[in-house]
Amino acid sequence: MRITQGTFSFLPDLTDEQIHAQVQYAIDNEWAVSLEFTDDPHPRNTYWDMWGHPMFDNPDAAALMMELRDCRKVYGDRYIRVVAFDASHGWESVKLSFIVNRPADEPGYRLERQETASRTIRYTTKPYAADRPAGTRYG
């Protein structure tokens, strides 16, 4: 099951050229771009691991593309996303985030039902990938 989070996730995967253009757009808006990766695809998993520092003073997207190539070499079997952070006063938050790398095989989620007091049922979604320990979930 293809997970959909962040911008562009309902579109086909972006090519490197398209990623470059999007990142350049973010930089031109003075947002700091950075890379994050994870192997826990749960939609509530907001805090991914950082790859390097956010790039506050690189005027060209080639810098991020270089980091992305390096990141793919190490974590090519995991989810990688580009995060564009707007540091300007009043915003101080992420303005754009999109997935740029995903595992070859995305097993999807299972729904767990927990029966509790007086016929109440609690639901949990669990990624199948999370059955395996972190670091060995894909590939």
56, 87 contact by CB (below 8 A) = yes
Q: Decide if residue 63 touches another protein (CB under 8 A).
A: yes
Binding another protein (rule: CB under 8 A), the pick from 60, 105, 112, 131 is 60
Q: Decide if residue 134 touches another protein (CB under 8 A).
A: no
Binding another protein (rule: CB under 8 A), the pick from 54, 58, 94, 106 is 58
Binding another protein (rule: CB under 8 A), the pick from 67, 101, 102, 127 is 67
Question: What value does the CA radius of gyration of the chain take, rounded to a whole number of Å?
Answer: 17
Rounded to a whole number of angstroms, the minimum distance from the CB of residue 70 to another protein is 9
Report the residue number, 3 or 63, with the smaller CB distance to another protein: 63
d(CA 134, CA 109): 16
d(CA 90, CA 54): 19
Question: Binders of another protein among 105-124, rule CB under 8 A?
Answer: none
Report the residue number, 6 or 54, with the smaller CB distance to another protein: 54
> DSSP letters along 26-91, please?
HHHTTEEEEEEEES---TT---PEEEEEEESS--STHHHHHHHHHHHHHHTTSEEEEEEEE-STTT
Footprint of another protein (CB under 8 A): 55, 57-63, 66-67
